[in-house]
Amino acid sequence: MPDEVRERYPARHYVMVDDQLHILAAMKKAWEERLTTISPRQGHYALNPKIIAANPPADVTIERIGKLVDYDLPALLGMNKANVNLGSGAR
C-alpha cells in the first residue's frame, strides 16, 4: 500500500497518525526519514503496556488526536528526529 500512496499523493514528506505503534513502526521502517509518525495516547492500543514495550516510540506523541489542531505542522516536522512527547502544551 505505501507504493500506492506515493503514486496517488506524491510528496517530499508524509505524516502518519495512528494509535497502533506496530503499524507506525512498520511504516517508518519502509519510509524512513520521509515519514513523521504521530501517536495519540488514546485508544485501546495506545495505552497497552505490552504494546508500548514491544515497539519503538513514534516520532511525536500527543495526548489526544484533537490536539493536532493546536500544533504547527512545520514545527512538528522539524522535530521528527527527537522522539518528542507533546503532552498538554502547544507550540
Q: Write the pLDDT tens digit of every residue in 32-81.
A: 999 999 999 988 888 899 999 999 999 989 988 888 888 887 776 665 54
Average pLDDT in the chain: 83
Nearest to 24 by CA among 69, 64, 54, 67: 54
| Domains along the sequence of the chain with CATH | 12-86 (3.40.50.1000)
pLDDT of residue 79: 58
Grouping H, G, I as helix, E, B as strand and the rest as coil, residue 37 is strand
Question: Could you tell me the maximum CA-CA distance found in the chain, to the nearest angstrom?
Answer: 36
- Fill in the amino acid letter for 91: R
Cβ pair 40, 62 in contact under 8 A: yes
The CA distance from 49 to 33, in Å, is 27
CA atoms within 13 A on the CB side of 84: 20
pTM for the predicted model, two decimal places: 0.78
